[in-house]
Amino acid sequence: MNFKIHDDLPTEYFGTVLNFVDKVMNDITYGMFDEDGNELLDPNDWYDKTRVQSPEFVINNKRGNCVDQVNLEYWFFKENGIKTKIYYIEYTNDKNESPSHMFIILDNNNKIYWYENAWKSFAGLHEYYTLNECLTDIKKKYCPDKYLDSCKIYRIKDILEGSNPNQVLNRKIIKIKDTPRLYYVSDKDFDETVLNPCVPNNFFTENNYEDTRQERISFFPSIEQALSDNPNINKNNILFVYIPNEDYDYYKPSVEEVPTVYLTGETWITKPISIKKIGNIKIINEMPDKDLIYTYGDNNTGTLKKWQYSVLNGDLIKDSWHDIQRIEEIVKNYKNKHPNASIKQAWAVAEKLLNKQIEERNKAKEFKEVKTYVVIDYFGKPVYESTNEGCQEYINNHKNEKLAYVLKEVLPKLTRNEVKELFEDSKPQKGLNIVYKDNQEFNCYEVDVIDHNNQIIDQELCDSEDEIKIIINDFKREYKILKVKNEKGDF
- Burial level of 77, CB count in 10 A (0-12/13-18/19+)? buried
Distance between CA atoms of residues 223 and 264, nearest Å = 10
Q: What are phi and psi of 31, to 5 degrees?
A: -170, 155
Q: pLDDT at residue 490 above 60?
A: no
Strand partners, 128: 112
Q: pLDDT at residue 239 above 90?
A: yes
Q: Which amino acid is at 74?
A: Y
Residue 426's pLDDT is what?
A: 46
- Give the mean model confidence (pLDDT) for residues 337-345: 71
Q: Following CA atoms 22, 26, 32, 34 in sequence, which dihedral angle do they give, to the nearest 10 degrees?
A: -60
Specify which of 111-125, 175-189, 313-327 reaches the highest per-range mean pLDDT: 111-125
Q: pLDDT at residue 242 above 90?
A: yes
Q: How confident is the model at residue 428 (pLDDT cuts 50, 70, 90)?
A: very low
Q: CA triplet 216, 219, 322: central angle to 5 degrees?
A: 145
Q: Which tens digits make up the pLDDT trace of 388-427?
A: 878 888 888 887 788 888 888 888 878 777 777 677 644 4
Q: pLDDT at residue 9 above 60?
A: no
The pTM score is: 0.45
- Give the mean model confidence (pLDDT) for residues 264-280: 90
- Topology given in CATH for the domain delimited by 14-176: C8orf32 fold (3.10.620)
Q: pLDDT at residue 176 above 60?
A: no
Strand partners, 293: 303
Distance between CA atoms of residues 200 and 147, nearest Å = 39
Q: What are phi and psi of 306, to 5 degrees?
A: -95, 145
Q: pLDDT at residue 324 above 60?
A: no
Distance between CA atoms of residues 23 and 9, nearest Å = 18
- Closest C-alpha among 441, 435, 424, 442 to residue 472: 435
- Closest C-alpha among 336, 347, 333 to residue 258: 347
Strand partners, 289: none
Q: What are phi and psi of 228, to 5 degrees?
A: -65, -25
DSSP 31: -
- Closest C-alpha among 203, 172, 281, 274 to residue 235: 281
Residue 425's pLDDT is what?
A: 46
Strand partners, 217: 269
Q: What are phi and psi of 59, to 5 degrees?
A: -65, -45
CA distances from 453 to 292, 381, 385 (A): 41, 17, 15
Residue 478's pLDDT is what?
A: 61
Q: pLDDT at residue 115 above 90?
A: yes
Q: Of 201-215, 263-277, 353-367, 402-416, where does mean pLDDT reach its minimum?
A: 353-367
Q: How confident is the model at residue 321 (pLDDT cuts 50, 70, 90)?
A: low
Distance between CA atoms of residues 69 and 37, nearest Å = 15
Half-sphere exposure for 137 (CA within 13 Å, toward CB)? 18
Q: Domain extents for the chain?
A: 14-176, 184-318, 320-368, 373-486
Q: Following CA atoms 169, 123, 114, 142 in sequence, which dihedral angle do they give, to the nearest 10 degrees?
A: -60
Distance between CA atoms of residues 165 and 90, nearest Å = 13
- Give the mean model confidence (pLDDT) for residues 191-217: 91
**Average of per-residue pLDDT values in the chain:** 80
Q: How confident is the model at residue 200 (pLDDT cuts 50, 70, 90)?
A: very high
- Give the mean model confidence (pLDDT) for residues 287-297: 76
Q: How many helices (H) and strands (E) does the chain have?
A: 14, 20
Q: What are phi and psi of 480, to 5 degrees?
A: -75, -40
- Give the mean model confidence (pLDDT) for residues 340-356: 68
- Burial level of 8, CB count in 10 A (0-12/13-18/19+)? exposed
Residue 427's pLDDT is what?
A: 47
CB-based contacts of 238: which residues, under 8 Å, 6+ apart?
187, 280, 281, 282, 283, 312
Distance between CA atoms of residues 215 and 196, nearest Å = 9
3-state DSSP: the chain helix, strand, coil percent, rounded to 5?
30, 30, 40
Residue 70's pLDDT is what?
A: 93
Q: Of 81-95, 171-185, 409-423, where does mean pLDDT reach its minimum?
A: 171-185
